[in-house]
Amino acid sequence: MSTSLEPDGTHEGVPAYHFDNRLGGPVLSHQERWDEMARSHSGFRSTVARGFWVVTDGPAVQEALQDWRTFSNKSVTVLEPDPRFLWIPEMLDPPLHNKWRRLLGKDFSPGAVAAREAEVRQVAGETIDLIKGDGTADVLDAFARRFPTVIFMRLMGLPEEDLPTFLDWIHELLHLSHREDPDAVRQMTAMKAVSAYFEEQIALRREAPRDDLLSRAMSWEIDGERINDRDLHAFCILMFQAGFDTVPISVGWALYHFATHPELRRAIVADPSLIATGVEEILRVYSFVIPARKATRDVEIGGCPVKAGEMVMLPLSVTNRDPDRYEDPLTVDPHRTTTNHVAFGSGPHRCLGSHLARLELNVAVEEWHKRIPEYRLAPDQELEEHGNMYGLKSLRLTW
Ligand code: HEM
């Protein structure tokens, strides 16, 4: 498959391309394009909008994520270097960032997450049971997007009857291609609705606190001051973006991979102890998060002469699929012993929800294969990925 980008001259002596990350494409086209760019460049310039840098050298990506003094989180959106919005904790730099992470750490610690295992298992199992008799389903809609959202809503203390509304918002906010929503009007409308929803949920808890994360956060103090409503809201919005779509995308890739690799599938069914490393391998090979940072000073990274104030895109896929870091990097190998992938990021902003995500993914794969060990891709479907974060738009399986 040719995945080449359209050249667009050079910028400061570095090759430039019209690289628009919002566009969707056929299954695996994004991953293959990153591989191709990483083979031929350590970095390049995108000429989309005001322009930004893209680093495609694996070690350089990791180095930038660690160096928060040079690569700030004040903006994490390449197209908006000076955002008028705030997402907490993602858009904070240390030392304020550390204070939030310390407070949030308790609810997302390995112990707190392990205590939810029975509940996660039950919700996942019940969701699969609902579709098992049908013999076919779009497993993203019917399973992968549904069960982690239920768990997340419980964690935040949000009413479960709002699940369908949440799933609609997630779709409008995160899954539309540039073609489907060229002026981002649908995305903006959904964002306003999500924002108003969380304002209401915060006000309800100010009146009567409950036993949930949002209510607990109201009693937290930073530098002697209670967290105000504006910051609580900024936290809710980030949780909505970070916590909702990532596990579904990963479950989708896991089921896609095991559907298209029947020998590996039979191996994990015969020996479920292979699932834990299998899941880590799926996270590595299909890594889909593309962090971005704003340079605080002039710096060269991946061969790009970045100026203070410019945006830099740092795709995790180039580190996770780097042939210098992994032997046979594109193979999902549950026997692999190198487990240093960066699918959850690196440095101070490494994923807060990684323990929960791991639990949900492992449980999803285990419970699915206990119930439906043999399955395949349904015929006559064109598998497509959406832009921004590369997840499958839909995945129809039959069994
Ligand atoms: C497989 C699923 C997931 C993947 C691959 C993933 C990946 C990531 C990555 C790469 C980052 C770092 C972004 C950056 O450096 O700019 C991140 C941050 C974050 N993730 Fe996750 N994530 C997943 C699931 C979750 C879940 C389930 C939650 C919460 C329930 C969550 C909450 C967060 C938060 C709050 C941050 C921001 C951390 C900070 O700024 O300090 N994530 N995630």
pLDDT beyond 90 at 94: yes
CA of 246 to the centre of ligand 1 (A): 8
CA of 351 to the centre of ligand 1 (A): 4
Quote the distance between the C-alpha of residue 135 and its chain's center. Answer: 29
Contacts by 77-86, CB closer than 8 A, 24 or more apart: 77/292, 77/311, 78/21, 78/46, 78/52, 78/292, 78/311, 78/312, 78/313, 79/48, 79/49, 79/50, 79/52, 81/50, 81/294, 81/309, 81/310, 81/311, 85/234, 85/237, 86/231, 86/234
Name the residue with tokens 């193979």. 331
Does ligand 1 lie within 6 Å of residue 33's CB atom? no
- Whether 36 is in a domain gets the answer yes
pLDDT beyond 90 at 14: yes
pLDDT in tens, 320-349: 999 999 999 999 999 998 889 999 999 999
> Which residue, judged by its Cα, is nearest atom 21 of ligand 1?
351
Distance in angstroms (rounded) separating the CA atoms of residues 103 and 123: 28
- Whether 291 is in a domain gets the answer yes
If one counts every other C-beta atom within 10 angstroms of the C-beta of residue 228, the result is 11
What is the amino acid identity at position 104? L
- Whether 197 is in a domain gets the answer yes
CA of 9 to the centre of ligand 1 (A): 35
- Whether 341 is in a domain gets the answer yes
For a mutational test of ligand 1's pocket, the pick from 214, 246, 281, i.e. the residue with the most ligand atoms closer than 8 A to its C-beta, is 246
- Whether 397 is in a domain gets the answer no
Q: Which domain holds residue 230?
A: 7-390
Output the DSSP codes for 269-294. Answer: HH-GGGHHHHHHHHHHHT-----EEE
Atom in ligand 1 nearest the alpha carbon of residue 348: 41
Give how many domains the chain has, as a whole number.
1
pLDDT in tens, 99-116: 999 999 999 999 999 999
CA of 86 to the centre of ligand 1 (A): 16
Mean pLDDT computed over 215-234: 94
CA of 335 to the centre of ligand 1 (A): 26
Does ligand 1 lie within 6 Å of residue 349's CB atom? yes
3-class DSSP state of 328: coil
Does ligand 1 lie within 6 Å of residue 345's CB atom? yes
- Whether 2 is in a domain gets the answer no
pLDDT beyond 80 at 63: yes
Q: How many residues does the chain have?
A: 399
Does ligand 1 lie within 6 Å of residue 357's CB atom? yes
Does ligand 1 lie within 6 Å of residue 89's CB atom? yes
pTM for the model stands at 0.96
- Whether 124 is in a domain gets the answer yes
Give the pLDDT confidence score for residue 60 in this predicted structure: 98
Distance in angstroms (rounded) separating the CA atoms of residues 143 and 222: 39
Which helix (H) or strand (E) element contains residue 221?
strand 221-222
Does ligand 1 lie within 6 Å of residue 17's CB atom? no
- Whether 395 is in a domain gets the answer no
**Of 53-62, 239-248, 320-329, which range is least confident?**
239-248
Helices 354-371 and 262-270 sit at what angle, rounded to 10 degrees? 90
Could you tell me the CA-to-CA distances from 58 to 12, 325, 328, 387, 396 in Å, in that order? 22, 8, 15, 21, 33
Distance in angstroms (rounded) separating the CA atoms of residues 58 and 63: 9
Beta partners for residue 43, in sequence order: 55
CATH number of the domain where residue 352 is located: 1.10.630.10
Name the residue with tokens 């940072």. 293
